[in-house]
Amino acid sequence: MTTTTHLKTTRSEEIFAAAQKLMPGGVNSPVRAFKSVGGQPIVVDRVKDAYMWDVDGNQYIDYIGTWGPAICGHAHPYVIKAIQAAAEKGTSFGAPNYLENVLAEMVIDAVPSVEMVRFVNSGTEACMSVLRLMRAFTGREKIIKFEGCYHGHADMFLVKAGSGVATLGLPDSPGVPKSTTAATLTAPFNDLEAVKALFVENPGDIAGVILEPVVGNAGFIPPDAGFLEGLRELTQEYGALLVFDEVMTGFRIAYGGAQAKFGITPDLTTLGKVIGGGLPVGAYGGRRDIMQMVAPAGPMYQAGTLSGNPLAMTAGIKTLELLQRPGTYDQLERITKTLADGLVQVAQETGHAACGGSISAMFGFFFTAGPVHNYEDAKTCDLQKFGRFHRGMLEHGVYLAPSQFEAGFTSLAHTDEDVDRTLQAACEVMATL
Ligand SMILES: *Cc1c(COP(=O)(O)O)cnc(C)c1O
């Protein structure tokens, strides 16, 4: 790989200019447009292992991994071959298939809270369905979410949301009826007292608490010691459900997700990203008595034409099989820690206030002295500086999430050499900021 200092983006520019006339903002998901970091977004031609190539022929080390799914590296031959073989038998049956059992069993074996599971097609769908289930099971309407946490784009969750909403500095979205969000209460992450106060103010009305157990959509924010335990106790005390949104953390920060890593078992869990191995899959699952509410076992309606299709199930199964190999999470942990610690060190050595960290294959880095315990803290970071850093890294062949409010992702394909090269690039770029 050659280090480019003046990126050639002619073809990317042409394609993206045309895209802007065809699709809102030129994209099908907002953060891809690079609005918060400025500059020309890169139009991607292909991906392989830890790398990405754009339509102008530039190569990048990719730390987004299609926003999480590519934990084994892009286009892993073990996964791709299985998808090809599955496609020969048809892409969707709209009827039961055995592969659903296989992936369901793998998820149930891996994730402590999950006794039964329902597959859907995205993390958004998983979260909106789990919310309906929380309400159906408890007969209560209000829910508590945390500022800066993202649970997909369903109406009820677009209140102080993270990810693209935070990145673009959007207010709560127009088009969402007040009546829909009136039942969504919010608290700062890592603030048990605020959660307790909400329970006290709304006696008998709160169906449950939903959170990213490790936040990745307001940047990377781990839970303080005792926070997850405290939520488990509070929800039990008030007869409410605890829901971990592990769409990002599931099979990433440990094979069994954050709940396995921290030893806290929620009542329900949402999954996505990694379990689809790069194809559209989401899932929600949990205690058997709660999941039995879901149609057709019970009265809570939720359905999907393409849900559980054999192509997506295959990609998920093969990805999880790769992750089950010995040493996987040790390798992910080691590589990611070297990278995350290295970025903070390089920043501090070049005179920038910075903080960051990692858990297994998920990391984050802020241009602020920190520490960052919640979204308010995250917002103290220097966004202008990050924009220049992001562009500089791109020019040095490193593709980072185009926002301070997104976590970064590594994969089994990232090598020590990739990390060295990344830190070398960071050193050069930081010195110019
Ligand atoms: C990505 C994400 C979602 C939404 O998943 P989509 O597949 O993009 O709909 C929900 N929750 C969390 C924690 C996520 O990271």
pLDDT single digits (tens) 129-156: 999 999 999 999 999 999 999 999 999 9
Residues 60 and 92 occupy one common structural domain: no
Closest ligand 1 atom number to CA of residue 282: 7
Residue 2 pLDDT exceeds 80: no
Among 49, 56, 62, 245, the active-site one is: 245
pLDDT single digits (tens) 25-67: 999 999 999 988 888 899 999 999 999 999 999 999 999 999 9
Domain count, the chain: 2
Residue 328 pLDDT exceeds 50: yes
Residues 69 and 194 occupy one common structural domain: no
pLDDT bracket for residue 178 (50, 70, 90)? confident
Closest ligand 1 atom number to CA of residue 246: 13
| C-beta of 245 in contact with ligand 1 (< 6 A) | yes
Q: Which residues contact 205 (CB under 8 A, 6 or more apart)?
A: 140, 141, 142
Ligand 1 center from residue 372 Cα (angstroms):
22
For ligand 1, pick from 146, 210, 217 the residue to mutate: most ligand atoms within 8 Å of CB. Answer: 217
Output the domain CATH number for residue 405: 3.90.1150.10
Where among 323, 349, 383 does a domain terminate? 323
| C-beta of 396 in contact with ligand 1 (< 6 A) | no
pLDDT single digits (tens) 214-248: 999 999 999 999 999 999 999 999 999 999 999 99
Q: Specify if 3 maps to a domain.
A: no
Among 51, 63, 150, 255, the active-site one is: 150
Q: Which amino acid appears at position 42 of this protein?
A: I
Q: Specify if 31 maps to a domain.
A: yes
| CA 204 vs CA 139, 198, 233, 291, 293: distances in Å | 10, 11, 16, 22, 21
Q: CA 378 to CA 386: how far, in whole Å?
A: 13
| C-beta of 248 in contact with ligand 1 (< 6 A) | yes
Closest ligand 1 atom number to CA of residue 67: 1
pLDDT single digits (tens) 69-106: 999 999 999 999 999 999 999 999 999 999 999 999 99
pLDDT single digits (tens) 104-121: 999 999 999 999 999 999
Question: For 416-430, what is the mean pLDDT?
Answer: 98
Q: Specify if 268 maps to a domain.
A: yes
| C-beta of 36 in contact with ligand 1 (< 6 A) | no
Residues 167 and 297 occupy one common structural domain: yes
| SS3 labels along 247-312 | CCCECCCECCHHHHHHCCCCCEEEECHHHHCCCCCEEEEECHHHHCCECCCCCECCCCCCCCCHHH
Q: CA 341 to CA 331: how far, in whole Å?
A: 16
Residues 84 and 59 occupy one common structural domain: no
| CA 68 vs CA 102, 366, 417: distances in Å | 22, 19, 21
Assess whether 273 carries a catalytic annotation: yes
Residues 71 and 114 occupy one common structural domain: no
Q: CA 231 to CA 340: how far, in whole Å?
A: 28
- pLDDT value at residue 3: 45
- pLDDT value at residue 164: 74
Assess whether 379 carries a catalytic annotation: no
* Owning domain of residue 423: 10-75+327-430
Output the domain CATH number for residue 153: 3.40.640.10
Among 35, 160, 261, 273, the active-site one is: 273
Residues 169 and 296 occupy one common structural domain: yes
| C-beta of 214 in contact with ligand 1 (< 6 A) | no
Residue 5 pLDDT exceeds 70: no
Residues 94 and 63 occupy one common structural domain: no
Question: For 287-291, what is the mean pLDDT?
Answer: 98
pLDDT single digits (tens) 376-407: 999 999 999 999 999 999 999 999 999 999 99
Say what the pTM is.
0.96
Residues 365 and 333 occupy one common structural domain: yes
- pLDDT value at residue 171: 63
Q: Specify if 253 maps to a domain.
A: yes
Residues 244 and 358 occupy one common structural domain: no
Question: For 277-282, what is the mean pLDDT?
Answer: 97
pLDDT bracket for residue 4 (50, 70, 90)? very low
Assess whether 160 carries a catalytic annotation: no
| C-beta of 127 in contact with ligand 1 (< 6 A) | yes
Q: Specify if 5 maps to a domain.
A: no
Q: CA 222 to CA 427: how far, in whole Å?
A: 26
